Structures are given as C-alpha cells and as structure tokens.
Amino acid sequence: MTTTEKVAELILKAKKGKLAKEEVTAEAVLRDDLKFDSLGMTELLVLTEDCFKLQFSIKEALSVKTVGEMVALIDARLGA
C-alpha cells in the first residue's frame, strides 16, 4: 500500500464515516475541504504517528494544509 493510500485510509478513519473516499484527493485542504477542526486534526496526527511510527513537531503539523502535503511530509520523513 502506498503512502497516499494509507493516508486516505487514516483520513476516512478519523472522519468516522462522515467523508466519501472520492473527496480525499491530493489537493483537498484538510481544514476547509475535509472539515477537520483542531481536535480532528489531532486525531489524524495520532493515527498518522501510530501508523508510520513517526513523531511530528508542531511546526511540521502546522505546515501541512493539504492531503498531498501530508503525504509529501511523511515520505520525506521516511526517506522515500
């Protein structure tokens, strides 16, 4: 499974069925398009750190606005 596919899965899990798979595109803005609030963003961050065995700083977390940026950050940290 690619990072993109894993991230899409995590986003759907974090939204607990309130999002259609088609809405999770690379360009989708997490806050505006996918309607993640601060608590939702934190849930997603916890799931992501668990899944990829990574720790992100607040600065890194704040830098991510879109799904594509999230995938790029994870790949960069994994050295992919």
Partner 1 sequence: MSDQDFIIKKVDPSCAAAVPGVFRAIYGDAFPVQYVYHADLIMAEIEAGRLDSSLAFDAVGNPVGYIALYKNSPNPQLWEGGNLLVVPDSAGSDLAWLLLQHYAQPENMPAVGSDGIFGEAVCHHYFTQMGGVKCGFGDYALMLDQVNGASFQEHGPETERVACLLQFLEQSDPTGLCYLPEQYLEQLQRLLAPLRPRTVLPGSVPLPVTGETTSSDTWFSDAGTWRISVSTIGINWPAFLDQLLEQARQRQVVSLQVVLSAGLDCITAAVQEMRQRGFFLGGLFPRWFGSDGIALQQVLGKEPDYDGIKLYSPVAKQLLEFIRSDRESVLA
Q: Which residues lie near partner 1 (CB under 8 A)?
A: 31-32, 37-39, 42-43, 45-46, 57-58, 61-62
Q: Looking at beta carbons only, is 45 or 71 nearer to partner 1?
A: 45
CA distance 19 to 28: 12
What distance in Å separates the CA atoms of residue 58 and residue 30, rounded to the nearest whole number? 16
Taking the complex as a whole, how short is the minimal distance between the CB of residue 77 and partner 1, in angstroms?
15
CB of 22 to partner 1, least distance (A): 23
d(CA 3, CA 8): 8
Whichever of 2 and 63 has its CB closer to partner 1, that residue is 63
